[in-house]
Structure formats: C-alpha cells, structure tokens
Amino acid sequence: MKKITKFKKELVVSFLLVTFYLFSRLCRLTLMPIFTDEAIYIRWAEIARYDAYWRFISLSDGKQPLFVWLMMVVIPYIKDPLFAGRLISVGAGLVTAIGLFLLSRELFKKDLVGFLAAGLYLFYPFAMVYDRMALMDGMVGMFAVWALYFEVLLVKTFRLDVALILGMVIGLGTLTKSSGFFNLYLLPFSLLLFPWQDKKRAKKFFLWLGLVLIAVVESQVMYLILRLSPLFNTIASKNSVFIYSFKEWLTHPFRFWWGNLRGLWDWFIGYFSWPVFGLLAFSVLTIWRHFRKKVLLLIWFIAPLIALAFFGRVLYPRFIFFMTLTLLPLAALTLSQLYGFLKKPWLIVIVSLLGSFFWLRSDWQLLTTPYIADIPKADKNQYFNDWPAGGGVKEVVAFLNEESKKGKIYVATEGTFGPLPYALEVYLYKNHNVEIHGFWPLQEKIPPQATESAQIKSAYFVFNQTQEVPANWPLKIIARYRKGIGDVYLTLCQVILTNEN
C-alpha cells in the first residue's frame, strides 16, 4: 500500500513538473525576436527540406547538421517557422530535465534529489533562455546530461546495451556541435565510481574498457556520416574561429586564460545566482559525503570550463550552458538535506522562495519583458538590444507581405548572411511576389540592381547594422524599428526614382 501511495505522489509531482515546464517554455514562445543564428539555422532547414542535395548545408558554415535536420522535419507542420525551430529546443529541454532526474536519482539514490534537480532546471534562467531559442546549445546540454547518466550506469552495471546506448548518445552529441566531444573526453572520469575495492576489479576493469571501446567506436562511426559531404573539413575551420589550435596556444599559453576565465565566471554567476551558488558551495564543503560522486559532477563543470578559458578565442555565454547542468544535482542534494532539517512545509516553502527569488524574477522578465531581463549583458545585448537581435523583422515582413499583394516587389538587404537577408527569407521564401537580394559590403553608391528594379516595380532597402541611411542614396525612410532598449534600429526604406536613376 505504501508503494502505491508513493507511486501516486511521484506521478502527481512528475505531472506538475512537466505541465509547468511546457507552460513556461511554450508561453509566448515567439516573444523574443529572431536572433541571427536562429535565422540562419531555420533558413538552412527550409532549404534542406526542399533540396536533398543541401541536406548537409550547415557544413557550409562549419556547423554539424543534427539540429537543422530535426527542424527540417518539424517546419512543414507548423505555420510559424520560428515557433517550429524553437519547439525543437523546448523538446530538448524536457528530455534534459528527465535526464537530470534519472542522473541525480542514480547517483544519490533518492527520488527527492531527482525531482529537485529537475525542478531547479525548470526555473534555471540559463535553461529558460536556451530552451526557448532555436539554437543548438539546448541539445548540447541534453546530450551531455544523458551521456553522463549512461556513463555512470556503464561503470556500475557493465552491460552491453548500456554501452551501445552511450555510444549513440555521444555520437548524436558530436553531430549537434563540436562541444559534444566533451562527452567523450570526460568519459574516463566515470572510473571515479568504479568498484575498486571489488576482488574481481581487474576482470571488471577490462570488461568496462571493452564496453567503452565499443561505445567510442560506435560514436565515431556515427560522426563519419559527415564525411559524406565534401564540406566536412569546414568544421575544423569554423572551430578555429572560436578556439585556438594547440599550436597557436603554445605561442601564448597563459596570455588570455585569466581574462577568459573571469568572463566565463561572470556569465556563470549571472545565470546561476549567488543564492543557488550557496547551495552548491555547501555541497562542496561537505564533499566527504558522496565524495566520488560529487567530484565527478564537479569535473564535468570544471574541466570544460578550464579548457575553454585556455583555448577560447571568441566566447559567448551559451558555450558554458551544458557544463553548468551537472551542478544542479549538487544544489538539489543540499536542498534535500535542508528539507530534511527544516521538516515544516511552510518553512521549506519560504526558504525555497527566498533562494530562488533571482531566478523567478529573471524567468518572469524573460516571459514578459525580455529586453530588460536580469541575465548577463552579453546575452541581453545579442538577443534583444543590439544588431544581432531581430527586432523589427516581424513588422518589416508584415509590411512586405501587404505590399506584395499589389504586385511584385524587390527587396535589397544590408548583408548576405545572417539576420539579413535570412530573417526575411525565413518568412517570405514562399511569396513569389517578393524578390530578395543581399549586398555586403555596401559601397559608396546604392547597388544598381536596386535602382533598376525601382523603375519597373516597388523596391525597398533594409538596413540592420548601418544606423545612418546614406544621404546620397535615393531612399525614403518608411520606418525605423528599435531593437529592445538599445540605440540600434532596423530601418526600412523605399528606393525612389530620380532623374539620375
């Protein structure tokens, strides 16, 4: 009878967590303007869907294709392509929360720790941002959590089926983004949980080694799929934009690491918050309890962080998202101990609300007024208030759709890759009355294609980075759309006929 009652309670808690997760992620999902990289990925998915030759189109920019492939499947069934793309991340976040529950329960043998870890993920502002954007980083975090879970299972069970699933998870992670390789690099640290005191440890170690070899080979065979494309080598070229090669690093091994580390730490605290960090710190201070398990979780955060600090050339907060997820079980463990100490439900609620105040405030802002959300400035500027943000795109698309009902129109954009023209093409590629062409860099005079088109149909020019419309160009400003609360605008102009045209 007790088991049935416990099962019912767990079922109710699971239902509430899933329901609240879906509400928090799906509510106003397209409120945040389309971001540069989102526009690129969604446009790739649209192209790949209609042309099998371009199924590896993401490799043209050195990006692994799994995220684009998943969007390619979903986009045909949902009217808004931005909603469709972000829906992939919403699904990935749900799977991440489930993975955190299973990982925490497996490590600490308490359902409560598992539920608390999943609950922390639900309110985690870092997750709130990336579960609601069509970016690869949410899926990277998902595969990281599940890879660690199966690595823990493998070192405890020594089962072939676990090794095969682990190999698949690692392989899919590497097909998502290059940071997915950390799931492979960190695999040996799972030996922290190996039963070294067992009399048959030598036999078990070689069995584990054989199973790991199977998982590694399977993951790399999956990654070899990318060699079907002649663009495979672009991945290394793209990685070099963000990461120093070992040869380059040797010329300045300690020159950038401290500055990088400080920046990464500021972003981490900006999302994690000091109160929740306090829960983590308490778990570390009592590290003798579950020592090896805690060290394993800490290594999955510290090792990638240090590697990024040493080798990072161009860094963004999203790069550390996946590595912060293994800290949530540690904070959840402290919470479970705190709950056991307080015992009284009303005290537990008060402490929980006080500890999560900063998270709840950030979550509310992200769902209502994201451009003022209390998140790191680097992300707030990129996604809401600076030129990479897509503020004004919906308005321009609506205007161009209306104009195209009168006849064919020509649209020139500042840029050939990124927010323009991709953000417009994402919505207008099916409108055969709209012809879009990108130009970069802009010259002293307006592109002749724009003025030539203006002689036979309505022609427009859209500026994104340029804030002052060239005075000598034959343009009439129709509207300027502010990006968030920044001093940056998306400007829509009409090309006008003059005697010089």
pLDDT in tens, the chain (501 residues): 566 676 788 899 899 999 999 999 999 999 999 999 999 999 999 999 988 889 999 999 999 999 999 999 999 999 999 999 999 999 999 999 999 999 999 999 999 999 999 999 999 999 999 999 999 999 999 999 999 999 999 999 999 999 999 999 999 999 999 999 999 999 999 999 999 998 899 999 999 999 999 999 999 999 999 999 999 999 999 999 999 999 999 998 999 999 999 999 999 999 999 999 999 999 999 888 899 999 999 999 999 999 999 999 999 999 999 999 999 999 999 988 888 777 766 666 677 777 778 999 999 999 999 999 999 999 999 999 999 999 999 999 999 999 999 999 999 999 999 899 999 999 999 999 999 999 999 999 999 999 999 999 999 999 999 999 999 999 999 999 999 998 999 999 999 987 655
Write out the two tokens for 211: 């199973």
Indicate whether 439 belongs to any domain.
Answer: yes
303 and 429 part of one domain = no
For residues 65 and 48, give the distance between their C-alpha atoms in angstroms, rounded to a whole number: 10
**Count of Cβ atoms closer than 10 Å to residue 445 Cβ:** 11
Instruction: Enter the pTM of the model.
Output: 0.95
For residues 138 and 135, give the distance between their C-alpha atoms in angstroms, rounded to a whole number: 7
286 and 331 part of one domain = yes
Pick the last residue of a domain from 330, 350, 382: 382
- DSSP for 4-50, written as a single string: HHHHHHHHHHHHHHHHHHHHHHHTTTT-SPPPHHHHHHHHHHHHHHH
Residue 243 is given by DSSP the state: B
262 and 407 part of one domain = no
Number of domains in the chain: 2
For residues 58 and 69, give the distance between their C-alpha atoms in angstroms, rounded to a whole number: 10
In which domain, by residue range, is 337 found? Answer: 13-382
Helix residue spans in 27-159 (DSSP H): 36-50, 66-74, 81-108, 111-123, 125-130, 137-157
249 and 398 part of one domain = no
Query: Which residues are CB-contacts of 105 (< 8 A; sequence separation ≥ 6)?
Result: 111, 113, 114
Indicate whether 295 belongs to any domain.
Answer: yes
For residues 497 and 184, give the distance between their C-alpha atoms in angstroms, rounded to a whole number: 60
- In the block, residue with structure tokens 């690595």: 151
For residues 294 and 287, give the distance between their C-alpha atoms in angstroms, rounded to a whole number: 7
Indicate whether 484 belongs to any domain.
Answer: yes
161 and 210 part of one domain = yes
347 and 474 part of one domain = no
Indicate whether 97 belongs to any domain.
Answer: yes
Question: Residue 418 has what pLDDT?
Answer: 87
Question: Residue 337 has what pLDDT?
Answer: 87
Phi, psi of 410 (to 5 degrees): -120, 135
Residue 374 is given by DSSP the state: S
Question: Residue 4 has what pLDDT?
Answer: 67
64 and 209 part of one domain = yes
Pick the last residue of a domain from 316, 351, 382: 382
- In the block, residue with structure tokens 């069970």: 157
Indicate whether 333 belongs to any domain.
Answer: yes
Using DSSP's 3-state secondary structure scheme, residue 490 falls into strand
Indicate whether 286 belongs to any domain.
Answer: yes
Indicate whether 227 belongs to any domain.
Answer: yes
369 and 420 part of one domain = no
For residues 183 and 380, give the distance between their C-alpha atoms in angstroms, rounded to a whole number: 29
CA triple 486-356-16, angle to 5 deg:
105
Indicate whether 8 belongs to any domain.
Answer: no
